[in-house]
Amino acid sequence: MPREDLRQRADSASAEAQIAGKSLAAPRPVPLDAMALTRAGIAGWAARLGPPGAEAPRSRRLAHIGGLAAIAALVLYLTWRVLFTLPSGPWNLTIAWILVTFEALPLAGLILKAWSVWNIDSHPPAPVTEAPNGMRVAVLIPTYNEPLEVLTPTVAAACELAPEHETWVLDDGSRPWVEEMCAAYGARYVRRDVHDHAKAGNMNHALGLMAEEKAAGGPGIDIIAVLDCDHVPLPTFLTATLGWFQDPEIALIQGPQSFYNGGAFDDDGITGEQGTFFNVLMASRNVPGAGPFWCGSTSLLRLSALAEVGGVATETITEDMHTTLKLIRRGWRTVYHHQTLAVGLAPATPDQYLLQRRRWGMGAMQILVHEKLWAAKSWMSWRNYHEYLNGTLWWLEGIATLAAFLIPVLIMLSGAQTSTAGPLTFTGVFLVMFTVRLWGSKQLMRNEIHWPTAFALRIFRVPVGLACLWWLVTRNVLEFQVTPKGAADLRLRGRTPRILIVMLVLIAGVILYAAAGLAGLVPWRTSPGSTVASGAWLVLAGAVLILGTRRIRAAEFATSRRNAFRVEVAAPVEADGVRGELLDISVGGAAVRFPRGTLPDSGLITLRLPEAAPVRLQVIRTTEQPDGTQIASLRAADDDWAVHRALSLWIFHTPAGALPGYPPGVPAAASLRGR
C-alpha cells in the first residue's frame, strides 16, 4: 500500500470524526497492521502509535483458527504415526516410540501457548493532561558509556514530554559532556562515587536521593518513568500511561519496546524478533491473575511500591524481572500498555545479540534459584506461576534444541526401523503437517513471526542454553555486561559459535552418509521409510543451522564505525532560499541534495527542515552528480546542543505535515527507506 494511500485513509478518518462531532485532541495515525505499513516503507511499530484497544475481529478469528489448526495438524500426524507406521519387533518398536515421543514434545507447549494468547485485548485508561491525584513524576535515564548520538535524543525528547515532570540523567560514566548537555536541555544530572550493582545500583542511588530530599521537606517524587538511554520517548509516553495510577494497587506499567534501527540483527522486516513477545505474549497477560514483568525500559513504577520491596533488586543481573517478583509477592499488580511509547536501538550485530541474550538467560537462572520459582505457587496465581516458571526455564530451551538435533541422528544411525510408511508417503504427510503448523502458529502469533528469521535466530538458543546450564552447575558470580551501543574501531563480521559449526558438520555428514547408503554406495541398515522419518528432522535442523550461520556472517550485520543511526527519508529542505531534498538525517547531521553550486565546499550553512526552525550545520564534503546536482554531507558541532536537540526532535517528534505521504503522527524515525 503506497504511503499516499495511507495518508488519504488517515485524512478520511479524521474528516469523518469531525463530521460526527467528535473532538480530535491530537492527530492519530490510521490503524493499520504492521505488514501493511512495512510494505509502504514505514516501520511496523507505527501501527501501534494510537491508543490500544480490543483486537480486530478478523485478527482474533484467524488467531483462533490458526492455533486450533496447528494443534490439530500435530495431533493428526501423531495419530497417523501411532496407528499406521509403527514397526513390529521390540527393538524397532522401542526406538520408533522414542522418535514419536520426540515428535510429540511440542504438543503440550502448543496447547499452552494457544490458551495463554487466546485474548490480547487492551482496556487502558483515557489519556491524561496531568498526573493523577497531584502525583509528581520523574523520568530516569540511566547511562554508562554510550556516545552522544545515542544519549542526546533520549534526553532531548524526555525533557519535551507532557505533563509537567522532572528528567534525571543518571550518569555512571561521570562524563563532563553529559553534564553540559543536561544543563542545556533542563535535565537534572546525577552521578555517584561508588559504581556498584550496575544499572540497579545506579537507579537505587537516585531513589536514595529522592528519599533524602523528601525527608528534608522537599515535595518528593511519586512515579518514576524509566528509559534505557537509547530508548527515545514519543510524545504520548506519559500522557497515555499515567492514568493507570488511578488504581492504588498498580505498581508497574510496562510498554512495548520497539526499535528504530531497521536492519538490525534481529530485524525480521515486520516488528523485529521481539515483536512476538511485546505484541502478543505480553499483551495476553492483561487478564486477572496475571500481568507483565518489568522489562527495564519504557516503563513506569510507583515509588512507594519500590520502597516497600527495598528498591530495585540487586541480587541478580536481571534486576527488572526480579523486582517484579518482589512486587507480586507483596500483593502489587502490574499492567501492560500495548502502545508504541518509545523507540530504541536493537542489537545491530550477532555478538551484541548473543551478549544480550546470554545476560538475560543467565539472569533468569539466578532468579529461578534465588526465588525457588518451582515452589512459588504459594504466593502466585496459577497464571503467574505458569508464566514465570516457564519463562525462566525457557532459557534452557537451547539444551532441548541440542537434543532435538542429536536424537534423530542417533536414531538414524541405530539402524532401527522406525516407520513402515514409504518414503514418498512419509515425506508428503510430514510436509502437510509441518506446513499447517507453521501457518497456524503464525496466525496464532498475529503474524508477528517471520519464519526464516525466527529459524535463523533459534540456533543462538544453543550457546545461551549451554551457558545457563553451566551456571546452574557452577553458580559462578555474574557481572552485568552492558550491550554495546555506538561505533566500533573496525568493521568486522560476526563470529559463528564453535558448537554451531560442530553441529552443522555432524548433521551434514550424517545426511550425506545416509543418502549414500540409500544409493547403495556405503553400508546402511535403515530402511528408506525409516531414514526419511528421521532424515526429515535432520534436513530441517541443517536448514536452520545454515540460515543462522549465514545471518551471523552476513556483511550487513558487521560492526559499524558510525555512532549515529541514519534515517533515510525524502523531504523538502531549504538553504539560503534555495530548495533542495533531504536524503537522510541523524542526530548529528544530514545528507542533502541541491542544485550544483548552491552549497559551499566547506563552512557553515543554514538549513531549514520542513515545519521546523532553521539550524546551522557544517559542510563536511560535497559531491557533484551527473544530473547537475550536488550531494552534501552536513554535521552538527559536538557541543552545539541546540542543533542536536532540533535534529533529535525532528526525527522522533516530527512536526505534523513535515513528511509528504506519511500518516499524521508517524515520526521520521519510522522510515524504512533503504532498508
Could you read off the pLDDT of 400-410 as tens digits, one per residue?
A: 888 878 888 88
CA–CA distance, 516 with 502 (Å, rounded to integer): 21
- pLDDT above 70 (res 24): no
Count the Cβ atoms, other than its own, within 10 Å of residue 469: 17
Distance, CA of 506 to CA of 500 (rounded, Å): 10
* List of residues 6+ apart from 460 with CB closer than 8 A: 350, 353, 354, 357, 398, 548
> Which cell is 206 given?
537516585
Q: How far apart are the first and last CA of the chain?
A: 17
Q: Which of 518, 430, 406 is nearest to 85 (CA)?
A: 430
The 10s digit of each residue's pLDDT in 446-466 is 998 888 888 888 888 899 999
Rounded to the nearest 10°, the torsion over CA 395, 396, 397, 399 is 150
**Residue 586: what are its φ and ψ, rounded to 5°?**
-140, 175
Q: Are 563 and 147 in contact (CB under 8 A)?
A: yes
Residue-level pLDDT at 129 = 96
**E strand or H helix at 189:** strand 188-190
Choose among 188, 206, 189, 260: nearest CA to 231.
260
567-670: CATH class: mainly beta
pLDDT grade, residue 331 (50/70/90)? very high
Give the tens place of pLDDT for each residue, 353-384. 999 999 999 999 999 999 999 999 999 999 99
d(CA 286, CA 275) in angstroms, rounded, equals 17
Taking residue 616's Cβ as centre, other Cβ atoms within 10 Å add up to: 15
Rounded CA gap, 111 and 348, in Å?
34
Task: Determine whether 614 is exposed, middle or buried from the number of CB atoms within 10 Å of its CB (0-12, 13-18, 19+).
Answer: middle
Q: Please compute the mean of the pLDDT values over residues 11-30 and round it to a whole number.
A: 39
| Sequence-ordered list of residues with C-beta below 8 angstroms from that of 211, at least 6 positions apart, any chain | 307
pLDDT tens-digit profile of 617-655? 999 999 999 999 999 999 999 899 999 999 999 999 999
pLDDT at 284 over 90: yes
Calculate the CA 555 to chain-centre distance. Answer: 22
Host H or E run for residue 603: strand 603-608
DSSP symbols for 623-664: EE-TTSEEEEEEE--TT-HHHHHHHHHHHHSPPTT-STTPPT
The reported pLDDT for the residue numbered 572 is 95
**Choice between 225 and 274, residue whose per-residue pLDDT is larger:** 225
Assess contact for 46 and 37: CB atoms under 8 A.
yes
Residue 27 pLDDT:
41
- What is the signed CA dihedral for 418, 419, 425, 431, rounded to 10 degrees? -40
Q: Where are the domains of the chain?
A: 3-57, 64-117+396-557, 132-346, 567-670
Among 19-33, 497-511, 549-563, 648-662, the minimum mean pLDDT is found in 19-33
CB distance 330 to 313 below 8 Å: no
Cell of 591: 545528507
Q: Can you give the pLDDT at residue 32?
A: 59
pLDDT: is 614 or 556 the higher one?
Answer: 614
What's the mean pLDDT in 386-397?
A: 93
Q: What is the pLDDT of residue 19?
A: 36
pLDDT-derived band of residue 17, with 50, 70 and 90 as boundaries? Answer: very low
pLDDT in tens, 40-79: 889 989 999 999 999 999 999 999 999 999 999 999 999 9
Cα gap 97→99, rounded to integer Å:
5
What's the pLDDT tens digit per position in 408-430? 888 888 888 888 998 899 999 99
- pLDDT (average), residues 152-172: 98
pLDDT in tens, 522-541: 888 888 888 888 888 888 88
In sign, the C-alpha dihedral spanning 196, 202, 203, 207 is: positive
Q: Which residue's C-alpha cell is 512495548?
A: 256
Q: Round to whole Å and give the CA distance between 446 and 437.
A: 14
Neighbouring residues of 42: CB distance < 8 A, sequence distance ≥ 6: 3, 6, 662, 663, 666, 670, 671, 672
Query: Sorting pLDDT into bands at 50, 70 and 90, what band is 20?
Result: very low
Beta carbons of 260 and 668 less than 8 angstroms apart: no
Q: What is the pLDDT of residue 15?
A: 41
Q: Is the pLDDT of residue 188 over 80?
A: yes
**pLDDT, position 537:** 85
Residue 254: exposure state from Cβ atoms within 10 A (0-12, 13-18, ≥19): buried
DSSP string of 381-433? -HHHHHHHHHHHHGGGHHHHHHHHHHHHHHHHHHT-----S-HHHHHHHHHHH
Please state the φ and ψ torsions of residue 663, each to the nearest 5 degrees.
-60, 150
Dihedral sign (CA 403, 405, 411, 414): negative
Structure confidence at residue 271 (pLDDT)? 66
Q: How confident is the model at residue 272 (pLDDT cuts 50, 70, 90)?
A: low
Residue 174: per-residue pLDDT: 95
18 vs 434 pLDDT, higher one: 434
pLDDT at 164 over 50: yes
Strands 333-336 and 578-586: unpaired
User: How many C-beta neighbours within 10 Å does residue 431 have?
Assistant: 11
Mean pLDDT of the chain: 90
C-alpha to C-alpha distance for 395 and 401, rounded to whole angstroms: 11
CA quadruple 272, 590, 36, 666: dihedral, nearest 10: 100
Which H or E element spans position 531? helix 528-553
pLDDT at 31: 52
- Write the DSSP assignment of 219-257 as a string of letters: ---SEEEE--TT-EEPTTTTTTTGGGGGSTTEEEEE---
Q: What is the pLDDT of residues 469-485, one digit of tens each?
A: 999 999 888 887 777 77
pTM summary value: 0.90
| The CATH homologous superfamily of the domain defined by 132-346 | Spore Coat Polysaccharide Biosynthesis Protein SpsA; Chain A (3.90.550.10)
pLDDT reported for residue 33 = 66
Please state, in angstroms and rounded to a whole number, the distance separating the CA atoms of residues 573 and 605.
Answer: 12
